[in-house]
Amino acid sequence: MANSKTQKIIKDTKGNEVVTIRTDKTLKDFMETKPSSRWNPEFWYQKYDDNINELLRTKYTVNKVGDFEEKLTYGAIVTGSQKYYGRDYYLINQGDISFTGLDLSNARHVKKESPWVIERAMPKVDSIILARSGVGGVGKNRITIITKPIKAVVDSFVDLLDLNREKVNPYFVVVFWKSKFGWLQIERIINGVGTINISFDEIREINIPVLPDGVQKNIESEYKKMSVFHDKAIKAKKKGDGAGYKKNIETAEKMLKDLISKTEAVIRGERDDVI
């Protein structure tokens, strides 16, 4: 048995961890954890507490996503076998959300008169869209932001989040969400449940530091530079240009990973800005 101040780890004869016992949590902790009581053991892995504790050591104020919310919704729930396909609106599903942005090269289209087409499900510029369920959706941290006007609606497995731009920059929120500080919070929420999903209340409870306005604007600027290469990649993909797609998507991914890394460094106080 290996002990620490907060946990006891029991291993088998080969040194594999078989049981972890948290010695610093009580029944009251389980019952009062927001947004609802949490009993699944994965939620209490030490790495998730370590992540939050590191985040809270930042010199910046830490708020909740819900403090910035203007709208949080999801697409229409459409049942039945009737087909509503047309050419009026893109129907965005989880699979259309990639690491560096939207990939609508294989997206479905629906008619204007389709029950999918409802006002609340229409993203606008700066809307954040994110997968809300499934191993291949929220489990892969599928989240992006709408960077240009688009005639589209999200489906029922995609959440749409609009934030108050006077309080927080949505581009920063997307980059933070993809960082270790954001993703480990999401991973903690979705771990250990029967069906992987994330609720509105859980989204609202995500901790996020409020970086200086100038830093947030620079994150937006760098994100948009990355988006240029993402868009080139998708155009190449639609044309069947595999080499062009690979070249540009790799550039976009490298730029975004670099931006995420720099944002984490700002949060830790290791640098003052991302540029």
- pTM of the predicted protein model: 0.84
Give the number of other Cβ atoms within 10 Å of residue 179's Cβ.
19
* Distance from chain centroid for Cα 4: 32
Cβ-in-10-Å burial (0-12, 13-18, 19+) of 195 comes to exposed
Q: Given this model, what pLDDT does residue 39 score?
A: 52
Q: Given this model, what pLDDT does residue 85 score?
A: 85
Dihedral of CA 258/125/35/207: which sign?
A: positive
Q: Given this model, what pLDDT does residue 192 score?
A: 46
Average pLDDT across each block of 10 residues of the chain; the chain has 275 residues. List them in order.
60 71 62 56 79 96 97 91 86 95 94 94 97 64 94 95 97 97 89 66 94 98 98 96 98 98 98 97
CA angle (182 as vertex; 179, 156 as ends), nearest 5 = 110
Domains assigned to the chain: 1-28 (no CATH), 65-268 (3.90.220.20)
Report yes or no: 102 and 96 within 8 Å, Cβ to Cβ. Answer: yes
CA distance 40 to 256: 33
Cβ-in-10-Å burial (0-12, 13-18, 19+) of 82 comes to exposed
